[in-house]
Structure formats: structure tokens, C-alpha cells
């Protein structure tokens, strides 16, 4: 496959988590999160986004978000649970994206803030439009940012993508 094809990077922040007395990595979804995660999947399916590959943090709340969202999609993509996405800084998230095979054109990354919002802002640079304006106000739980990048996954870098969509469940 040519590396100069348009690629979608879909960033999904985990749905609302609960705060029981467990380690942060083990925090489950709250009731609102269990409602919002399928809504994120419905939004993706309704807008024609069906990733070929999902990279998901190993945290309980991200895995639960994906389990609830994926049922809304027409096809279940290959899923890789990636330890490096747990509480990852933006540079580390971009490193994981850079390792994606160029056979993949639509990638979903499920992670945590502040990393997910920082990656979206970093990759889209200084573009000014409605989606970017909404993103700059925050990246709520279960929110989705869709970025378009033309080139190989190895070439994903700061300012190299365009934010095409931004959705949050309670907007």
C-alpha cells in the first residue's frame, strides 16, 4: 500500500471512571461512563469510522470503554492492549502511533488525559476552525477527535495532521 494515502487517527478518551479504593490502573467505569462509551461507538459508526486497528491502554477504564463502544461498530477491528498508553505523555503516544503498519489506514487510540488532548493539539498544530476551538476548551471523558494525516505512520509528527471532527457525549 502506498504510504501517501490519507489516514485517520481517531483519539478516544476513556469514559467517566469511578473512584473506588483501588489502584489508579484498576479504576472501573462509573455509571455515566457505562452510558457514554456506547454513545461514542454509535457516533463513530454513524460517521463512518470503523478502525482497522485499535490501540488501547491496559487500564481497566479504557478496556471497559472499548468493550462497550466496539459493539456499536459494524466490524470488530484487531485490538492491541498497549501498556505504554497508560497515563502516557504525548511523545510516547506518538511513538506508539509511529509503529503502526502502513497497511492500516484507520487507527483508533484509546487513552487518558492529559495525553490524548495534548496529542490532538500537538498533531493539529495551530489550525483554527470550529473543531479545534472546541478541542481547546478540553477533552471530556468519552470524547472523540478525528485527525486526518497523509503519509506513513512513521511520519506522524507535530503539526502533521488536520482535525476533521471533534465530538463529546454531553455537548
Domain assignment present for residue 12? The answer is: yes
Secondary structure letter of residue 69 according to DSSP: H
pLDDT of residue 2: 59
pLDDT of residue 99: 97
Domain assignment present for residue 158? The answer is: yes
Measured CA to CA in angstroms, residue 81 lies from 41, 111, 136 at distances of: 18, 11, 28
Domain assignment present for residue 60? The answer is: yes
CB of 97 within 8 A of CB of 88? no
Note the residue count of the chain.
171
Number of domains in the chain: 1
Query: Within the chain, which residues score under 50 in pLDDT?
Result: none
pLDDT of residue 129: 78
pLDDT of residue 69: 98
pLDDT of residue 127: 66
Rounded to a whole number of angstroms, the distance between the first and last alpha carbons of the chain is 38
DSSP E strands in the chain: the ranges are 6-13, 53-57, 78-82, 106-111, 144-150, 162-167
Q: Which residues pair with 165 in a beta bridge?
A: 146
Domain assignment present for residue 1? The answer is: no
Domain with 137, as residue range(s), is: 6-167
pLDDT of residue 11: 98
pLDDT digits (tens, 9 = 90+) for 119-147: 999 999 766 778 878 888 899 999 999 99
Domain assignment present for residue 35? The answer is: yes
Measured CA to CA in angstroms, residue 144 lies from 24, 25, 55, 60 at distances of: 22, 21, 14, 19
The CATH number of residue 160's host domain is: 3.40.50.1240
The model carries a pTM of 0.95
Amino acid at each position: 500500500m502506498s504510504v501517501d494515502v490519507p489516514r485517520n487517527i481517531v483519539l478516544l478518551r476513556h469514559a467517566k471512571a469511578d473512584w473506588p479504593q483501588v489502584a489508579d490502573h484498576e479504576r472501573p467505569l462509573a455509571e455515566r461512563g457505562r452510558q457514554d462509551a456506547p454513545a461514542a461507538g454509535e457516533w463513530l459508526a454513524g460517521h463512518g469510522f470503523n478502525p482497522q486497528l485499535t490501540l488501547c491502554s491496559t487500564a481497566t477504564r479504557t478496556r471497559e470503554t472499548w468493550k462497550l463502544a466496539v459493539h456499536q461498530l459494524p466490524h470488530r477491528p484487531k485490538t492491541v492492549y498497549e501498556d505504554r498508553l497508560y497515563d502516557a505523555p504525548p511523545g510516547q503516544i506518538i511513538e506508539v502511533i509511529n509503529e503502526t503498519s502502513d497497511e492500516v489506514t484507520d487507527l483508533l487510540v484509546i487513552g487518558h488525559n492529559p495525553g490524548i488532548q495534548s496529542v490532538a493539539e500537538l498533531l493539529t498544530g495551530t489550525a483554527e476552525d470550529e473543531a479545534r476551538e472546541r478541542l481547546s476548551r478540553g477533552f471530556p471523558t468519552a470524547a472523540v477527535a478525528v485527525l486526518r494525516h497523509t503519509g506513513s505512520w512513521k511520519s506522524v509528527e507535530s503539526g502533521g495532521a488536520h482535525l476533521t471532527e471533534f465530538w463529546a457525549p454531553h455537548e
